[in-house]
Structure 1
């Protein structure tokens, strides 16, 4: 059923289809009985094996299941109710910047169906920290009324504005951290998107230390500090990954998200002329699967599993998720897989994970 629908949707521009689809879902979920039906149909059956504990220095987070939605899908926290109805254990909103910004010029999102991949150069388009914080406040109030045993967990993915210099980037991260603090369950520092000029230079050890220590200092001043994670690029070499790991251990970072999109275009099935015409942007989906798993393994092995990892990259089914968990990840995120596999992806992955005896 979804394959037919996907073939129709793929006839239209990706970004327009994204908002059209989510707004249709939002309209359906505004009707109580339809919302209940969608939730009952797509939410994974309750199973103790799915409940995931994410243990960090600052907090112990409990997730109804280990499958989350990566940042960039719901940039502005507009669709949390709808995504909860589809069964996600957690949703990472953002990337959020202090000031609202339109992002890069369209078109900026492209499909590569032969590779089960996407290329995006969105450029941190978002409504700004203050507006998004207010939406999250309203969401949190509704969650409190609902009194869910294991509510949808929210991650706040934060970045810098395009016009902010790298020298002042730490200020943007601090502003976002402070604005969102009361309304998210954990933070992800995004210095690895390829779509903001110069951003990836912030992954260098000294620049990264400045940002993370600033956030840590704000964090420990709070009565209940929140976990802070770092999202890294798959294009880092071993020495750069080692630097990240050393810094994470030095400042007692709460975790790493591995990985963001890649600027590599190796071994794609899509014709080179098509890829060249798209030009710049971060590649996600199946071509990223092997590299992201390798980085999860590297982090886990070098830290003896002491730094929790959220794995992202090429996850389309339970086998893909199991691969990441076996490599050492605690949680997994989908994004491109959601586009290609459809709204049933969380239930499908969870069902296959439960059936996987190697994870017992």
Structure 2
């Protein structure tokens, strides 16, 4: 069905098309939920694994940024994702950057966005998830970010993260600290070892409280190239994270540079600033997955995101050390049927490689 809808959606502004798609999904979720799952259902025991004490029925997840306000969790579960990550969400609601702020780069099968972390705020999300009760069938990740306001800095920024964690941790299977978003005027405020140390100290002091004892992950920026051999900055980040017992990494965020793009420079100049996601990030993100897997001796689960667009690219990240992978940009180009196709392709590859479980393939090519 999506191949018929895509030409219509691609005639629209990227953000408007996204909003219309979400409204259509909401209608289906509310009016005819039983219509969804039969079309997309595909599960196999070989794709199941347990991470952080939680069972993930398959390793293909929805990346943060698609469903910022957690309005479509049942829909994403019915489509067949093994887990869903919502957000990024901040303590205070934010309208984001001025429009237009999202663009497609078809020559690269990529997106450029400078959304600016628009979201309805942590309290609104908490209320929505509370109203939804315990009907979720898949693990839910919640991606937290500092409120997009240059005035929220220092202790106020730490309190901002703390408030979001308090409100949302009870509803999550895991929480991601998004310290690396490039699309705000105040920049990557916590992706620096000393600042990250302060943030983790704040969050892990809260994490000890009853009801808040959930896994905490950190989302990192992509490396500058796909050939990282040793990186002092990354080593410092890993050291700080391990000191607090961070439970995992999400690799990686969008890229603020324009490396490796086929889109004409004149087009890029006209579009302006923003983070790049999609196929151009694939090798860089996979490189950092492999680097982190080696640096942590494979003991810290990694979620690989960036350029996952088919079973081959998903399996490449898994073999590099990712236990889970996530999709965003590829959904824009391929539609929700991609989830099933990736799962089928992963099972085929596991069978060909003689693996009985997806866990057997994690890190086998590091």
Question: Residue 281 of structure 1 is aligned with which of 274, 284, 297?
Answer: 274
Normalized against structure 1, the TM-score is what? 0.93
Question: Residue 158 of structure 1 is aligned with which of 144, 155, 180?
Answer: 144
Instruction: Tell me whether 1:358 sits opposite 2:353 in the alignment.
Output: yes
Instruction: Tell me whether 1:47 sits opposite 2:44 in the alignment.
Output: yes
Does structure 2 conserve the Cα–Cα contact (< 8 Å) formed by 1:190 and 1:232? yes
- Which deviates the most, 199-208 or 339-348? 199-208
Shift of 1:184: 1.0
SS at match of 1:200: coil
Shift of 1:359: 6.9
Question: Residue 310 of structure 1 is aligned with which of 303, 306, 309?
Answer: 303
1-structure distance, mates of 2:214, 2:121: 21
Normalized against structure 2, the TM-score is what? 0.91
Shift of 1:343: 1.1
SS at match of 1:68: strand
Tell me the alpha carbon deviations over residues 13-37 of structure 1, each in whole angstroms, 9 at most, x when there is no partner. Answer: 1111111112112212323xx4223
- Which deviates the most, 221-230 or 122-131? 221-230
2-structure distance, mates of 1:231, 1:221: 23
2-structure distance, mates of 1:132, 1:35: 21
Question: 2:18 maps to which residue?
Answer: 18
Shift of 1:275: 0.7
2-structure distance, mates of 1:191, 1:96: 12
2-structure distance, mates of 1:232, 1:199: 13
**Do the aligned partners of residues 288 and 104 (structure 1) sit closer, same or farther apart at CA in structure 2, a change above 3 Å counting?**
same
Instruction: Tell me whether 1:107 sits opposite 2:107 in the alignment.
Output: no
1-structure distance, mates of 2:116, 2:103: 14
Does structure 1 conserve the Cα–Cα contact (< 8 Å) formed by 2:223 and 2:285? no
Does structure 2 conserve the Cα–Cα contact (< 8 Å) formed by 1:289 and 1:314? yes
Question: 2:254 maps to which residue?
Answer: 261
SS at match of 1:199: coil
Question: 1:95 maps to which residue?
Answer: 88
Question: 1:146 maps to which residue?
Answer: none
Does structure 2 conserve the Cα–Cα contact (< 8 Å) formed by 1:136 and 1:184? no
Query: How many residue pairs end up in the alignment?
Result: 346
SS at match of 2:295: helix
Does structure 2 conserve the Cα–Cα contact (< 8 Å) formed by 1:191 and 1:199? no
Shift of 1:244: 1.2
Shift of 1:165: 3.3
1-structure distance, mates of 2:215, 2:310: 28
- Which deviates the most, 133-142 or 123-132? 133-142
Question: Residue 263 of structure 2 is aligned with which of 266, 270, 273?
Answer: 270
Question: 1:80 maps to which residue?
Answer: 73
SS at match of 2:190: helix
Shift of 1:222: 2.2
Does structure 2 conserve the Cα–Cα contact (< 8 Å) formed by 1:235 and 1:263? no
1-structure distance, mates of 2:164, 2:212: 17
Does structure 1 conserve the Cα–Cα contact (< 8 Å) formed by 2:179 and 2:190? yes
Unaligned runs of 5+ in 2: 356-366
Unaligned runs of 5+ in 1: 144-150
Shift of 1:159: 1.0
Does structure 2 conserve the Cα–Cα contact (< 8 Å) formed by 1:43 and 1:346? no
Question: 2:176 maps to which residue?
Answer: 188
Question: 2:364 maps to which residue?
Answer: none
Does structure 1 conserve the Cα–Cα contact (< 8 Å) formed by 2:56 and 2:139? yes
1-structure distance, mates of 2:252, 2:174: 17
Instruction: Tell me whether 1:116 sits opposite 2:102 in the alignment.
Output: no
